[in-house]
Structure 1
Amino acid sequence: MTHHHDHEGQGFETRAIHAGYEPDPTTGAVIPPIYATSTYAQDGVGGLRNGYEYSRSANPTRTALEETLAALEGGTHGFAFASGLAAEDTLVRSLCVPGDHVVLPNDAYGGTYRLFAKVEAAWGVEHTSAPVDDVDAVRAAIRPGRTKLVWLETPTNPLLSIGDIEALAGVAHEAGALLVVDNTFASSYLQQPLALGADVVVHSTTKYAGGHSDVVGGALVVRDAALAERIGFHQNAIGAVAGPFDAWLTLRGLKTLALRMERHCDNAEQVVQLLSSHPDVVQVIYPGLPEHPGHAVAARQMRRFGGMVSFRVRGGEEQALAVCERTRIFTLGESLGGVESLIEHPGRMTHASVAGTDLEVPADLVRLSVGIETASDLLADLTAALG
């Protein structure tokens, strides 16, 4: 059932295409079939054929995705879920009990924050927030003996703060906690948290992994067998699994992840150059800029600096909203990581739920998910929108 060990030592692109699946022995199909089945014929009572009995527990299309995800993160076990939040909730219930404590980024993804503030808190798991780019602040937020998870997003959303994965893994492990890294923004191609000491990698595979804005999904990847066993038990017991059609689409997306990320980065760098020289832009936020406070850490732990760019405009909120409404190629919309370029106003859109809290974002901020279109078209579109 597992093939990932055959692919150790191979390059990222090779693993993305070959790791999770060998051509079907019956037909020779080079791509995993969509196993649209809920149950499986057994060889006698309790005699499972290759371990499959019921598709909540395991499905061959999902297995192919899970093994590919593990191979791309340098892990040994991957788990695919119906959404990123389903992955996160399953992880928390696998590793925490009421009375435990988690340290979250102080600008965590809104859905993650809501999960901890409304769902896990009601269940008895508490959280404290700390800035990811301040190792001492994260250490100070840990409650000795009670903190089970230190949760990291790097880069963060939408201010693109950078957390030092290696340093924070040390801080977490010193306190007897695990480091969880949400690798959604960077993707497996640009960043390898497990190699830097993280214990668990989380993805919303909806974003760069799937990459085509056509499927919602989530993933967890680990290296530790005992950890994998706990997560696998809870994945099955809770049941928020990826269906075979979703798994197949996500797998299809992953095959071109490296190519797409290179183009996302190429285009983002050109967008950053344009914005940096524009008189109406007061600040450009991108980890690739030498003046970004996290630039040195990002350069050390990321292959390139990603496709997400945020910027602040001179005319305040009114101007920020106008820019968002005037683009023609950049689509006004939430989410990120797809082939198409997106623009949004975090204060009114993705981050509206944190208005008035410590997580509030500047009103003059615009966030871009730079797609893989022709760069000159994207630059012309932004130039026109900035007026």
Structure 2
Amino acid sequence: MRRAAVAVVAGALAVSVAACGKAGDNEDSGSDSGNKSIGLLLPDSVTTRYEKFDRPLFEAKVKELCSDCTVNYANANADAAKQAQQVSSMVTKGVKVIVISAQDSAAIKSSIQAAVDKGVKVIAYDRLAQGPVSAYVSFDNVKVGELQGQALLTAMGSKATPKSKVVMINGDDADPNAAQFKSGAHKALDGKVDIAYEQSGLWKDSIAAQKMSAAITQLGAKNIAGVYSANDGMAGGIATTLKGAGISGIPLTGQDAELAGIQRIVAGTQSSTVYKAFKPEADAAAQLAVNLLEDKDIKSLATETLTSGSGDKVPSQLLTPVSVTKDNINDTVVKDKLYTIQEICTPAYAKACKAAGLE
């Protein structure tokens, strides 16, 4: 009886610990299955795409390609130290391939090196992490910035002059993509407008809102002709600040084609976003992961080579981004079934949707 009671208590504790692990650190996608286990580490849960699209699409594609594979998942919740611990945990679990979108591409280098030293292969996903990664999957991020900059100029029209003052809110410097977006945007904008205020919004709507408020104070509300925002999340905070300052009708860019961003485009408070189709990216990462897991060649998949911040030459697969404005919502995010008309055109946006031909 005593042994039975101990067993029951131990079993209950095991269930309790498992449940706590699932809720606390978001590592919940199955147990290790030796050579058939893949780790997926995403950087944050604030950016809508990761939990809503990247994770489920990646897991579904892995299952399609390898029915007996399991995916162990964790989200860093914007904490670089936590992500480093998650890499170590994945290695301890025995995963053979880790797919990681780095919260901090430089800080994760030693963790990636430690994983590779244990025989684990690492794929950099969406952001090019430093260290000995086997492959990288993303979009042409300089092109993303160029598309953003060009969309801003197009929306400004005749007001796009070398004297027109533009506010530029970039992403987090810890994300190597942010520097590429910035580079591409400058390539499109430099010499054509006056970038009168430029700061990092750290990928946070609240920080971007603060920086926009500071820009208004510094430049004057009537003197701002357009705003470059590196993504839709920050654009949300910026749009709120602009409205609060009584500023309307000026172009505002974004990126990621978040639902809220698409709705702002419909309503006219954001002029554009950049659509980086999540499914092709997640599918590509899953195919690379399974190939590496099964010791298959990846040369036909990763046909380009990029150099990371640590100087490593990385086989890369780069996909093509698309600029989205009010004119092509139907032909992009709706056509690809990212969102339905019903999801976009909620009652608050019904009138604007009708005017935009979204019915």
- The answer to whether the superposition gives a TM-score over 0.5 is no
In the superposition, the TM-score normalised over structure 1's length comes to 0.32
Of structures 1 and 2, the larger Rg is shown by 2
In the superposition, the TM-score normalised over structure 2's length comes to 0.34
